[in-house]
Chains A and B, each alone.
Chain A
Amino acid sequence: MNQAYEVSHLLAGAMLVTSFALLYQERIAAVLNAFAAQSITLALAVAWAAWSQDRPDLFITALIALVLKGIVIPVALHRTVQRLGIHREVEKVVGVGIALVVGLALTGLAQALVLKVAHATASHAREELALALAIILLGFLMMILRRNAVTQVVGFMSMENGLILAATGARGMPLVVEVSVAFSVLITLFVFAVFVFRIRERFDTIDIEALDRMRGDRR
């Protein structure tokens, strides 16, 4: 039993590390690689949970995370970035240093909050939940601190990774939910893809700044 906890902790911790890696990358290609690494780690974590909790249905979730978010989406986004000719730097709102400090603070907050509140829950589920919340908050932070549409998409999907980790950490949560999460990611990607192309079509850029000039009320 203890070994099962250790491994799932290790994997959840590794995901948190990749969340930080997402925050400090300078190039979009590197951001996409870090995201792929996070998704593959998620797939491992879910697969481990499936094996150790004896819940074979979770293997489906792991497979979806591996194939879709670990391979298909990063490859597709790499291609998009190349075709649009924006494989340069990540446009940031604040510097890497501040982003990392805020990220650390959020991680601390997540740990303090969950460990304090969920004292009655099994220790394993509790710590996994704390790590998952930290990953969600870091994804949130990334969406706020990055100006580019592609990096915002990645920030959002990183949030989704955290959610799936939280859902698998909650023992016995019905499959309905995991399938729906995976399903939603699919739709999400579809919608995002449409927007990325449309934004390109209309503005010749995928910088969100360009959108801010279009504030509807000042027409």
Chain B
Amino acid sequence: MNHTILQIKDVSKVYPSGQNNLTVLEDINFSINQGETLSIVGPSGSGKTTLLGLCAGLDYPSEGEVILDGQSLNNLSENERALIRNQKIGFIFQDFQLIPTLTAIENVAVPLELRGDKTAMPVAEKLLARVGLSDRSHHYPSQLSGGEQQRICIARAFSSAPAILFADEPTGNLDDETGSQIEALLFALNHEEGTTLVIVTHDLDLANRTNRIIRLKGGHVISDQYINSVHD
């Protein structure tokens, strides 16, 4: 039987906006099994990023419940959520979000070092080699190109062997060719590690490489579709 890694139950998110409330997400329900690859697509303002933030425990839902690996995130303190993020979740961002004052290898090692893992540096070195950036390990983010920064970000995301990986427009800031290389790298690593992958994207080609596509519009799920394409 497939193990459910993420369950979203009746989730809504409302932001106060001046005198009124702005409902960004309303009554969202879905669950994701271990090893699944899934895309969340939709037009700008449809609530994709908000949903990603809720799934990853970066924000609290106004209503409903987010259950990650059998653990409800709703009633956890900030410290407990931080622990969950460190142990179970990986992130890839559109604008890379590397820490500018740390070198490439230090950026990759951060999640393991946070755990107090003594093997942080050797693991980071291996991952850098895997993404093809061994020779840039002591460079700062400002000394790397966009594609290189995103590869570092992918290496960092996989460094803690997460149960689930969230990627927010991972190729959004890159040219087509670099974007394709990053996509290939992301799916290859995901395949090797057996990680659950959730991608938020506008790019339907990228979305079509996942097993399943959830479409959002106006804060509602308008379709949740399994597709047969198999990633490379």
Q: Do A and B bind each other?
A: no
Q: Which residues of B approach A to under 8 Å, CB–CB?
A: none
Q: Which residues of A approach B to under 8 Å, CB–CB?
A: none
